Amino acid sequence: MRLSPDAVRTLLTSVFPSDFIDDRARECGVVERNRDIDIRMLVWTLTVGFAVGGETRSIADYRRAYNAATNQSIAASSFYDRFTEQFEDLLTELLEHALDEVAVPHHVSPEFDRFRDVIAADATIFRLQQLLSEFEATHDDASGVMLYLVHNVTDQSVISDEITDETTHESTLFETGSWLRGRLFLLDLAFFKYRRFALIDENDGFFVSRLKKSSNPLITAAPRTLRGNSIDIEGKQVFDVVGDLRRQYIDVDVVVGFKRREYDETRSTDTKEFRVVGVRNEDTDDYHLYMTNLPRGEFFAAQIATLYRARWEVELLFRELKSRYGLENFDTSKAHIVKIQITAALLTLVVSRAILRVLVDHAEERGEDVSFPTERWATTFRSYAQLILMELADLYGLPPPNIPELLYQEAKQPSPGRKTLLEEVCSDLTANAGA
């Protein structure tokens, strides 16, 4: 049983139907001054065409991808004029829509099924080649953009995103509330905060975090099987005793103190009991320590450490954006164009995951036990992105590309009076022939 040739474009046009793009474009004020540029294909060029091209990501790259798919030769100035703040708003709305529509079925350990979702929140920094006041960096003479993602590990999808400057601390972007219920959050040290852990727990969510060394919580209880004959660890602080232990695993209850959010100009103090587990690293002869509220009866220390490894998925996501899609290579003096390109990258990520869903479902229907490594998939998607764009153009009734004409228009010197080096040499030789 082979996949239908129409499977991909049918899926993509269900994510962003033509009328949906047109309606959102009108609402955002993306008004076409002429009919030379098809707004649907412009959106798809940024969504799929972001993966096309070399190491740079420039408007010229998008224009070439658009021209190749639509068999047009849009002038550079006309194409550039479409990259407005209103177009940024349109892409942002489309991204929000896509985040609700796309998910990839997961085939992971049954331990993951205990949770509504497994979530990894993290952020990464992109350096800009030009100084932009909107994107302040942590040091002078630089501009930095921070991209914050809330990544659904089990569905391989992005739940939410935030684009801000480098000086913003990513932990301030983590939202609490009822959405935490039933979800497991895998958090790195940047998000380590007792009050945050308490709010996750009080909203019936779960968390696993690396234990911050400066925290040093007080041990209130240890299972009998983990007590040593000569070391009584109850009533002591974790990092004061951990260096003296030689067990393979540590699993203790701890109490932590923290301040609640300010209310009526006062902040009350409170305490919570959590669990600290540790797994010995034989190579370094120390422990990897984690704080969690996962119940001891359901999750052993080794299982918690294994669960935490899934947080690497969000790191792979950032690596995919940077290494496969060249997200760091921005050279623009306009902040909204930076945001357009980052939003386009996220749209590319979401759309590529939508196509991946088709492949996963197809493999399941065929009863095949296959996997699709994310970075291998990103490389594959990038290789075929232009063909996908041309499939969409065909769906919209646009003619197939006249490749010789496109090559002619793109390769010729845009300034007729400018000569190549060889032409200048020949001209100078002729002028100096009698000297």
How is residue 404 written in tokens? Answer: 């010789």
**Structure confidence at residue 105 (pLDDT):** 46
How is residue 408 written in tokens? Answer: 């002619």
What's the CA gap between 355 and 8, in Å, rounded? 6
Whether 265 shows a pLDDT value over 90: the answer reads no
Summarize pLDDT for 373-419 with one digit per residue, the tens. 878 888 888 888 888 889 889 888 888 878 788 777 777 776 667 77
pTM: 0.78
Q: Is 291 part of a structural domain of the chain?
A: no
Query: Based on C-alpha coordinates, what's the Rg of the chain?
Result: 27
Output phi, psi for 120, to 5 deg. -120, 120
What's the CA gap between 174 and 185, in Å, rounded? 11
How is residue 240 written in tokens? Answer: 């004061």
Q: Is 192 part of a structural domain of the chain?
A: no
Nearest Cα neighbor of 102 from 50, 47, 64, 173 is 47
**Structure confidence at residue 351 (pLDDT):** 86
Range of the structural domain that residue 398 is part of: 7-102+334-411
Q: Is 74 part of a structural domain of the chain?
A: yes
Model confidence at 31, in pLDDT bands (50, 70, 90)? low
Summarize pLDDT for 74-83 with one digit per residue, the tens. 888 889 999 9
What's the CA gap between 45 and 38, in Å, rounded? 10
Residue 200, Cβ density class (10 Å: 0-12 exposed, 13-18 middle, ≥19 buried) = buried
Q: Is 328 part of a structural domain of the chain?
A: no
CA 274 centroid distance within chain:
30
Summarize pLDDT for 214-253 with one digit per residue, the tens. 999 999 998 755 544 457 788 999 999 888 888 888 999 9
What length is written for the chain?
435
Q: Is 168 part of a structural domain of the chain?
A: no
DSSP string, 151-219: EETTTTEEEEEEEEETTS-GGGG---SGGGTTEEEEE-GGG--HHHHHHHHHTT-EEEEEPPTTT-PEE
End-to-end CA distance of the chain: 77
Range in 41-50, 282-291, 327-336, 410-419 the model is least confident about? 410-419
Q: Is 292 part of a structural domain of the chain?
A: no
Model confidence at 208, in pLDDT bands (50, 70, 90)? very high
How is residue 253 written in tokens? Answer: 């209850």
Q: Is 352 part of a structural domain of the chain?
A: yes
- The number of folded domains in the chain is 1
CB atoms < 10 A from the CB of 18, how many? Answer: 15
**Structure confidence at residue 293 (pLDDT):** 96
**Structure confidence at residue 83 (pLDDT):** 92
**Structure confidence at residue 104 (pLDDT):** 46
What's the CA gap between 208 and 224, in Å, rounded? 23
Summarize pLDDT for 121-138 with one digit per residue, the tens. 999 888 887 888 888 888
Q: Is 387 part of a structural domain of the chain?
A: yes
Range in 19-23, 192-196, 208-212, 427-431 the model is least confident about? 427-431
List, in order, residues 6 or more apart from 283 with CB less than 8 Å away: none
- Torsion sign (Cα): 300, 189, 205, 357: negative
